[in-house]
Amino acid sequence: MSGDAPFAGHRARKRFSQNFLRDPMVIDRLVEAIRPQPGDALVEIGPGQGALTSALLARGVALTAIELDRDLAAGLRVRFPELDLIEGDALKQDFTALAERLGARRLRLVGNLPYNISSPLIFHALEHAAAIQDAHFMLQDEVVQRLAAAPGSKAWGRLGVMVQLHCEVQALFAVPPSAFTPEPKVNSRIVRLQPRLGPAGLPTDPQLFAEVVRAVFAQRRKTLRNTLKPYPEREALGTQWDLSLRPEQLTLSDFVRLANDLAALRSKHG
């Protein structure tokens, strides 16, 4: 039976942002970047019609896949009877519980992520960072540039700050639209995310940190003096901070210190 037979007549669904990876050279390069090893707990998110799935299983590794599309899930069961398939939404998946079920210390996530869920899925996965060894995702190139951005660059923003707080981020190789069916209108790129266990320098109040980062980048052309107006403690920061700075001028450690200073002032003044 040919690899496409279980999916005969299936059309990519826009509501799932489906673009199926087809290029065998890109698939081989992605597998080499992942370097699956015996004993790895590999979890593929959005296997689609199984192009990457097939390449990973060919390495002789155990593989779990999460697929939302019922028709694709049915085809995957026919094509890969050995596949541990979860039919459901990866955004609702408890990766910590999945690692426990698989008897794994940590999971290795892989996938060609639909563009419409890429950022929410990354944030969801980071809620389970202690259960994740690494992740290799195919994302829109612009998103990868934001994830891997450095302070001072135009791409430096909320996404990069929030993800780099918990992960080492490495932008890998680019993937052209021609590698997919149907072809997307944007370029793609592979990103490697490696959660840091017990990272140093975490904010004392994670919720306040997230609020501050969101607030300042919502008005990224304005100075801290303006973007921090919602925080009454701002005035007391003047002796410790140059409030004429703009958010893209702050490093990750600066954001942590800023949030911690605000938290300390809030606690001091009740």
- Report the CATH number that the domain containing residue 170 is assigned in CATH: 3.40.50.150
On whether residue 55 sits in a domain, the answer given is: yes
- Do residues 157 and 222 share a domain? no
Tell me if 38 is assigned to some domain. Answer: yes
Residue 182 sits in the same domain as residue 236 = no
Q: Are 182 and 226 members of one domain?
A: no
* Residue 185, domain extent: 5-195
Same domain flag for 140 and 11: yes
pTM: 0.89
Q: End of a domain among 195, 229, 245?
A: 195
Residues 221, 154 within the same domain: no
Query: In this structure, is residue 147 part of a structural domain?
Result: yes
48 and 163 within one domain: yes
Q: Between residues 267 and 42, which one has the greater pLDDT?
A: 42
In a domain, 71, yes or no: yes
- Model confidence over 46-93: pLDDT tens digits? 999 999 999 999 999 999 999 999 999 999 999 999 999 999 999 999
Summarised one tens digit per residue, pLDDT across range 126-138 is 999 999 999 999 9
- Of the residues 175, 195, 215, the one at which a domain ends: 195
For residue 9, pLDDT over 60 is answered with no
pLDDT of 201 strictly over 80: no
Residues 162 and 80 in one domain: yes
Do 246 and 191 lie in one domain? The reply is no
Q: Give 91-128 pLDDT, tens digit per residue.
A: 999 999 999 999 999 999 999 988 888 999 999 999 99
In this predicted structure, the answer to whether residue 13 has a pLDDT above a threshold of 80 is no
Q: Does residue 201 form part of some domain?
A: no
Give the per-residue pLDDT at 269. 64
* Boundary-marking domain end, from 172, 195, 218: 195
Residues 216-265 pLDDT 10s = 999 989 999 999 999 888 888 877 899 999 999 999 999 999 999 999 98
pLDDT value for 111: 94
3-state SS record for the chain: CCCCHHHCCCCCCHHHCCCEECCHHHHHHHHHHHCCCCCCCEEEECCCCCHHHHHHHCCCCCEEEEECCHHHHHHHHHHCCCCEEEECCHHHCCHHHHHHHCCCCCEEEEEECCHHHHHHHHHHHHCCHHHEEEEEEEEEHHHHHHHCCCCCCCCCCHHHHHHHCCEEEEEEEEECHHHEECCCCCCEEEEEEEECCCCCCCCCCHHHHHHHHHHHHHCCCCCHHHHCCCCHHHHHHHHCCCCCCCHHHCCHHHHHHHHHHHHHHHHHCC
> Is it the case that residue 208 has pLDDT exceeding 90?
yes
Q: Is the pLDDT of residue 159 over 80?
A: yes
What local confidence, expressed as pLDDT, does residue 18 receive?
Answer: 61
pLDDT for residue 185 is more than 70: yes
pLDDT at residue number 104:
93
pLDDT of residue 16: 45
Q: What is the mean pLDDT of residues 191-213?
A: 88
